[in-house]
Amino acid sequence: MAQLTGKADVYVDGVYAETTQEGSTLDGIAGVENTPVMNSRGETAGYTSKAVPGVITANFTHGPDFDITLYTGDGLSMEFVCDNGVVYLMPDATFQKTGQLDANKGTIPISFFGDVVPMNGGLSL
């Protein structure tokens, strides 16, 4: 039985970013989003498509050495490395936003967007 992704490591410009095991997500890997269109009878008449960027979000640990300026630019090289060996590359990522700093957990979610390139083992859509 094949191993499914259970967690992922995130690298920024080739350097491991200390993130928590929970909360690392990759959205928009297909680069397209389809929306069904219903007719007046409640049947699916077809669909519309729109391009969507890939988005990597991860919960970064917020310790004394945390430097937000390392992540707030553009032209970043992001890697989303799954524990089952599948790797996704975002070669020209742009900082999108930070979420709420959780002082109880010592984490802050940070999101990046860009085009996603599946590497070894990933499906090319």
Domain ranges of the chain: 9-118
**Contacts for 84 with CB less than 8 Å, ≥ 6 apart:** 2, 3, 4, 5, 6, 121
What values do phi and psi take at 68, rounded to 5? -60, -25
**Contacts for 108 with CB less than 8 Å, ≥ 6 apart:** 59, 60, 62, 66, 98, 99, 100, 101, 102
State both tokens at 85.
């060996």
- Of 2.40.30, 1.20.120, 1.10.287, 2.160.20, the CATH number of 9-118 is 2.40.30
Taking 50 as the threshold, does the pLDDT of residue 124 lie above it?
no
Among 114, 108, 19, residue whose Cα is nearest residue 74: 114
Taking 90 as the threshold, does the pLDDT of residue 4 lie above it?
no
Q: pTM for the complete prediction? A: 0.85
Residue pLDDT, tens place only, 32-65: 999 999 999 999 999 999 999 999 999 999 999 9
Taking 60 as the threshold, does the pLDDT of residue 85 lie above it?
yes
